């Protein structure tokens, strides 16, 4: 049976991702189309606890589809992890007669939404917004396409100076638990090697690959390093390589939070719009406690539990291709 939903709230939580504003815009305008009152919660779960809710109209989300970051701001909340914090958040929602919520964020956001909705029986729909692309149940997450384009653009610029000076560059990208950004950046930038959390590449194996390049007179090389790989950060790896292999002048570049900022790509704007629209449509149909994603270009519903706990594997064919093309 469809719940009687008249007022809904939307918020962004965790790390920001390019395209979150496009998702907010789609949620607000789709909710308005269905004659629902829509409220924005500022600063995620922290704002929910503090009662930072404001009514949103169609005009409030004009001219934001192209903007990076999130107009609703975002934060991580330690207080929400406590029973008292969630109780205060529930009372804030009651004060505004909120019947359901739409949460835009990554693994931690959906985990918090899952616990809260089960405790207080408020329907939640999740929208996957994270540059890491590590949520099960969707081929791509909001912000991922923009992040890899940013990383590839940086790697291309580094390639120019590496070529000019015959250097070996270790380029560190985000990805504490997931190698999606690193793998696709390596392929897109023509890097010689990639180090990711999902596979183990020893320092000796990496040196062996670099020696192959040096033997055929390869004058420079790029190694893309996911921050969560098993050999340490890019600086540590570069130091270990220098001790055993000094053919190249070795440098390190950490791209860091550049990957989170900037205007979203067209792909991220379209993805975010589709998911924001689908989230409201799911509530109208009576769905709850699911994440909306896109698989094979079709909207798919995935339970919070599966989205959070099931592993999203890398494509083995891509891994093999990256190795062969980097030789």
Q: What is the mean pLDDT of the chain?
A: 95
Domains 7-143+264-309 and 145-260 belong to one CATH topology: yes
Can 132 be counted among the known catalytic residues? Answer: yes
What backbone torsions phi and psi does residue 305 show, to the nearest 5 degrees?
Answer: -60, -45
Alpha helices in 172-219 (DSSP H): 180-189, 203-215
Q: What is the pLDDT of residues 233-258, one digit of tens each?
A: 999 999 999 998 888 889 999 999 99
Q: 155 by DSSP, 3-state: which?
A: helix
CATH class of the region 7-143+264-309: alpha beta
Euclidean distance between the first and final Cα of the chain, in Å? 58
What pLDDT shows up at residue 166?
82
pLDDT tens string 83-134: 999 999 999 999 999 999 999 999 999 999 999 999 999 999 999 999 999 9
Q: What is the pLDDT of residue 1?
A: 40
Cβ–Cβ under 8 Å, residues 41 and 48:
yes
Please answer whether residues 282 and 301 qualify as being in contact, where contact means their C-beta atoms are separated by less than 8 angstroms: yes
* pTM for this prediction: 0.95
Residue 123, phi then psi, degrees to nearest 5:
-60, 135
pLDDT, tens digit (0-9, with 9 covering 90-100), for 13-52: 999 999 999 999 999 999 999 999 999 999 999 999 999 9
- Options 132, 134, 145, 268, the catalytic residue: 132
Q: d(Cα 241, Cα 249) in Å, to the nearest integer?
A: 11
Q: Which CATH class is domain 145-260?
A: alpha beta
- Segment (H or E) for 11: strand 7-12
Task: Identify the sign of the CA torsion 270, 272, 275, 276.
Answer: negative
Domain positions in the chain are 7-143+264-309, 145-260
Backbone angles phi, psi at 204, to 5 degrees: -65, -40
């Amino acid at each position: 049976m469809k719940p009687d939903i008249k007022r809904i709230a939307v918020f962004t939580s965790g790390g920001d991702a390019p395209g979150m504003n496009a998702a907010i815009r789609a949620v607000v305008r789709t909710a308005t189309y269905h004659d629902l009152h829509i409220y924005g919660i500022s600063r995620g779960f922290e704002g929910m606890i503090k009662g930072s809710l404001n009514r949103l109209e169609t005009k409030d989300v004009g001219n934001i589809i192209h903007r990076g970051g999130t107009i609703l701001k975002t934060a991580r909340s330690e207080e929400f992890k406590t029973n008292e914090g969630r109780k205060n958040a529930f009372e804030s929602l009651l004060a505004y007669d909120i019947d359901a919520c739409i949460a835009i964020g990554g693994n931690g956001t959906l985990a918090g939404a899952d616990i809260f909705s089960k405790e207080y029986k408020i329907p939640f729909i999740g929208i996957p917004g994270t540059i890491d692309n590590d949520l099960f149940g969707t081929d791509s997450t909001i912000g991922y396409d923009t992040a890899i384009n940013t990383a590839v653009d940086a790697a291309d610029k580094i390639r120019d100076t590496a070529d000019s000076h015959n250097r070996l560059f270790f380029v560190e990208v985000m990805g504490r638990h997931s190698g999606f950004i690193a793998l696709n950046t390596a392929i897109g930038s023509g890097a010689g090697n990639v180090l990711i959390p999902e596979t183990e590449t020893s320092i000796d194996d990496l040196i062996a690959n670099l020696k192959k390049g040096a033997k055929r007179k390869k004058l420079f090389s790029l190694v893309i390093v996911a921050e969560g790989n098993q050999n340490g950060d890019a600086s540590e790896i570069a130091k270990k390589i220098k001790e055993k292999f000094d053919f190249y002048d070795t440098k390190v570049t950490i791209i860091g939070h550049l990957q989170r900022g900037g205007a979203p790509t067209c792909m991220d704007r379209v993805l975010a719009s589709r998911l924001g629209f689908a989230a409201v449509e799911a509530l109208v149909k009576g769905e709850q406690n699911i994440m909306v994603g896109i698989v094979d270009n079709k909207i798919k519903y995935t339970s919070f539990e599966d989205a959070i706990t099931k592993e999203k594997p890398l494509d083995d064919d891509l891994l093999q291709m990256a190795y062969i093309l980097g030789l």
